């Protein structure tokens, strides 16, 4: 799911969609309006699911999509190498997620962990 909002309403730390990928805004700067043009905003963001750095420049009155990312909780059912099998505690569906390198030692079977979900993409966050 996504919602429309104006660029001027965005703040650092919020989400935005750049190149069809949900991103977290790291910095946003806006210029003054010129003699014949509108003020522009420059956003630097990092992809939530792929950690890619992206940049976008838009007039501040432009409407832009903002993703609605669900923060969910799940129980680890099993660990298979660097993959965790997780059961969503809301609808009891199971998903398999790759465990990030820095979280390998903190995830154990039977433990509850938070994760992000947006349009079929998942990411473990601790």
Same domain, 89 and 118: yes
The string of pLDDT tens digits covering residues 21-33 is: 999 999 999 988 8
37 and 8 both lie in a single domain:
yes
Residues of the chain with pLDDT under 50: none
Query: How many C-beta neighbours within 10 Å does residue 26 have?
Result: 14
Confidence (pTM)? 0.81
**40 and 81 fall within a common domain:** no
d(Cα 68, Cα 15) in Å, to the nearest integer?
8
Q: How far apart (Å, rounded) are the C-alpha atoms in residues 2 and 27?
A: 21
Same structural domain for residues 74 and 110? Answer: yes
Look at residue 41 in the predicted model and tell me its pLDDT: 93
Domain count, the chain: 2
Q: Note the pLDDT of residue 5.
A: 94
Measured CA to CA, the distance from residue 48 to residue 83 in angstroms comes to 19
H-type helices in the chain, by residue range?
none
Please give the Cα distance from 73 to 35 (Å, whole number): 51
Q: Range of 92's domain? A: 70-124
Say if residue 8 is in the same domain as residue 36.
yes
pLDDT at residue 55 in the model? 95
pLDDT of residue 19: 92
Same-domain check for residues 94 and 115: yes
């Amino acid at each position: 799911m996504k919602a429309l909002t104006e660029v001027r309403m965005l703040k650092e730390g919020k989400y935005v969609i750049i190149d069809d990928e949900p991103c977290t805004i790291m910095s946003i700067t806006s210029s003054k309006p010129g003699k014949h043009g509108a003020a522009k905003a420059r956003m630097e963001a990092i992809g939530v699911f792929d950690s890619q750095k992206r940049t976008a420049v838009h007039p501040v009155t432009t409407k832009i999509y903002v993703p609605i990312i669900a923060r969910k909780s799940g129980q680890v059912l099993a660990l298979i190498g660097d993959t965790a099998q997780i059961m969503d505690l809301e609808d009891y569906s199971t998903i398999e997620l790759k465990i990030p390198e820095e979280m390998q030692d903190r995830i154990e079977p039977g433990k509850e962990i938070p994760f992000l979900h947006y349009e079929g993409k998942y990411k473990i966050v601790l």
